[in-house]
Amino acid sequence: MVEVTRLSTLVELDGERADPAEMAVSARLEAVLSDDRRIPLLDDRGWSESIHGGGVDIREFVSVGDIEETARTVVGPDEPGEDHTHEGMAADHWGHLADILRRHGVAAHPAELERLPHEVVLGERLREWLGRARPLPSWPDSWPDPGRG
């Protein structure tokens, strides 16, 4: 019997970035099965960030860890509105994902999906874009180094 072994979110740049102070990415959540197939669960998620200040490049302030954490959040349960709780939103979210899997012939319990490992994979364009970040200015030799006693 085929099982879901993990969740995987692919995060990729959303369009071309003309403004170095802005970043927009899309996030696609997939279930990875024991036979190595992947079933798309959510493909309509993403986020954008911007930073203000002349000549500032957002890549100087965004880490891979930040992107991974945000990706897991945006493909996770939505925040509750009025008359909803976090628990109820989570139950609806994981139940919805289990329903998608069922439609693809894969049995999965919502609580089991919630406990699965969840990897985040940065797309090639995003990795390249992050790699082109301007390096932070070096610490001038004339300034006292706060790391030295």
DSSP string, 90-111: HHHHHHHHHHHHHHTT----HH
Could you tell me the pLDDT band of residue 133, with boundaries at 50, 70 and 90?
A: low
**Domain range summary for the chain, segments of one domain joined by +:** 4-131
pLDDT band at 87 (very low <50, low <70, confident <90, very high): very high
Helix then strand then coil, % of the chain, to nearest 5: 30, 25, 40
Low-confidence winner among 17-21, 35-39, 48-52, 100-104 (lowest mean pLDDT) = 17-21
- Burial state string for 97-128 with b = 16 or more CB within 10 A and e = fewer than 16: bbebbeeeebebebeebbebebebbbbeebee
In three-state secondary structure terms, 146 is coil
Q: In the prediction, which pLDDT does 119 show?
A: 96
Residue 132 is encoded by which pair of tokens?
A: 């082109």
Q: In what order do the strands lie in the sheet with 118-122?
A: 38-50, 22-33, 4-13, 118-122
Q: List all residues 6 or more positions away from 130 whose beta carbon is below 8 Å from its beta carbon.
A: 59, 62, 64, 122
Q: For position 19, what pLDDT does the model report?
A: 78
Segment 125-140 shows an average pLDDT of 67
- Strand locations in the chain (E): 4-13, 22-33, 38-50, 118-122
